Homo-oligomer: A and B are copies of this chain.
Amino acid sequence: MSIEYKEIAGGVCAAAGFKAYGVHAGFRKNTTKLDLAMLVADKPCTAAGTYTKNKVFAAPVGVTRSHLADGIAQAVICNSGNANACTPDGYETAEASCAAVSAVTGIPAENVIVASTGVIGVSLPLEPLTGALPELYGALEASAVGADMAAQAIMTTDLKKKEFALSYEWDGKVIHIGGMCKGSGMIHPNMGTMLGFITTDAAVSSAMLDKALHAAIEDSFNMVSVDGDTSTNDMVCVMASGMSGADEILDENDAYKAFAGALNALCMKMASAIAADGEGATKFLRCEVTGAASREDARVLAKSVISSSLVKTAMFGADANWGRVICALGYSGVDIDMKTIDISFSSEAGSIDVCKDGGTLLFDEDIAKKILSCDSVMIHCNMHAGEFSAVAMGCDLSYEYVRINGDYRS
C-alpha cells in the first residue's frame, strides 16, 4: 500500500469542520504577545490524547485526561505564559476555564480540552480568559489565518511557529490532517514533553484514534530530547470531525493504515520542528542507531547519544569528538559490545566514518568540520548486534540555551 501524503497549508484549520484563532488575553504582562488560543469544531469529534509521564503533572493535564475519557471533544482552550501547575487552585481554575468556554460556546465543559504552558507554581488568573473569550470566540476562522494565530498563541520560548498539514486521497475522498505544536526547552524522550493539537476530517472511532496516536507518538515526540527534562504539562491531542465524507475507521483495515501513516508523518514533522527549535539550538541533530539487538535497545541507545550534554556541546563546536558518542552508548544501560561499534557523521556536506570496531579511524578533520558545520547533522551508530534501528532527534547545546534558561522567569 503506497499513499501519497501532500503537504498543504492551513495547520489545524486544514481539515473540514474546525475554526481557530489566538489573541493576547493578558496572561503575559508587559507584552502584546498572543497568549490564548482557541480551537473549536463544528460538531462533537472523536478524540484521543497522550500525556506527560511526569509524576508531577499540571492541573490541565488531569482535567483534560478526565474530559477525554469518553473519547469525545469539541474545543481546545490553551494559554501560554503560565503552566497552571503546582498551585493550590489549579484544578479549580482549569475546570473554571472549561466552564467559561462552555458558557460562551454552548459546548459542554466536559468536551473541552484545556492546556497551559509557561511558569510553574504561580496561580493562573481566570480574568484574562473570561475577559478575552467573547472576542476570541467571535474571531474564530476556518482559515489559514485562524490556524496561524492559534499556533502563535501557544508559543513560549519557541522561535518558530510550528504548524503543518497533509492531505491524501482515500476511496475517492480527500482527507486532511493538520496540527500545531509548541515546545523547545524541557523536551525529553518521555512523551515528547510539549503541547500538540491535531485535527482531521477523517472519520475515526475514538479507540482507533487512540491507537494511531500512541503509535505515532512513539517514533516522533517520544524520540525528541532537548535538555533531558520532562515537563509537567505535556500533552498531544487529536480530534476527528469525520467531515471528509469517508467511511468511519473502526478497525485496523487499510483505511486505518492510510490514516495512521498520515498521522505518523505529521507527528514526525512536528517533532522534528520541536527538536530543531530547541532552546538556543544552532543545529538539528539526529542519531540513527542501526544493528541493535532489539527495538528498545535501539531507542535507548539513540536517545542516550542525543541527550548527552557532551555530545551536544561537541556538535555545537562542530567537533568530531566521536569518543563522546561511544561513551554515551556505553552508559545508556544497554548491554553492548564496544568492539563491534561503527560510528559516522553525515550532513548535506557529505559523510565521514570516524570509528570502526569501537576504535579510532584516521579521518580528515577539515572534512569532518565541514560536515558538522551544517544546520542538520546525523550521527550514525551501527552496533552490529542485531537488526533493529531507531532515530532520536535533538539539537546542540549552545551559550544561548544557558542564557534563555538562566533567567526564564524574569
Contact = CB atoms under 8 A, between A and B. Distances in A.
A189 to B, nearest CB: 10
B120 A309 contact: no
A404 B190 CA distance: 29
The residue in A55, A332, A397, A407 that gathers the most chain B C-beta atoms within 10 A of its C-beta is A55
A229 B308 contact: yes
Given A56-B330, A406-B317, A83 B323 contact: yes
A232 interface: yes
Contact of A331 (B53, B338, B406): B53
A54 B327 contact: yes
Contact of A330 (B55, B88, B406): B55
Interface in A377-406: 397-399, 401-406
Given A190-B331, A310-B185, A316 B402 contact: yes
Contacts of A321: 119-120, 408-409
A365 to B, nearest CB: 9
Q: Does more than half of chain A's interface fall in helix, strand or loop, or is it mixed?
A: loop
Contact of A398 (B54, B120, B327, B402): B402
A406 B232 contact: no
Interface string A85-99: 111100000000000
A313 interface: yes
A323 B57 contact: no
Interface in A87-120: 87-88, 119-120
Nearest to A56: B330
B56 A322 contact: no
Nearest to A338: B56
A359 interface: yes
A360 interface: yes
Given A85-B323, A319-B408, A335-B55, A360 B310 contact: no
A263 interface: no
Contacts of A357: 88
A39 interface: no
Nearest to A310: B229
The residue in A227, A317, A401 that gathers the most chain B C-beta atoms within 10 A of its C-beta is A317
Contact of A120 (B185, B326, B402, B406): B326
Contacts of A175: none
A53 B331 CA distance: 7
21 contacts: A54-B330, A55-B330, A55-B334, A56-B336, A88-B357, A119-B323, A120-B321, A120-B327, A228-B228, A228-B307, A228-B308, A228-B309, A229-B310, A230-B330, A232-B323, A232-B326, A309-B405, A313-B406, A316-B402, A319-B406, A397-B402
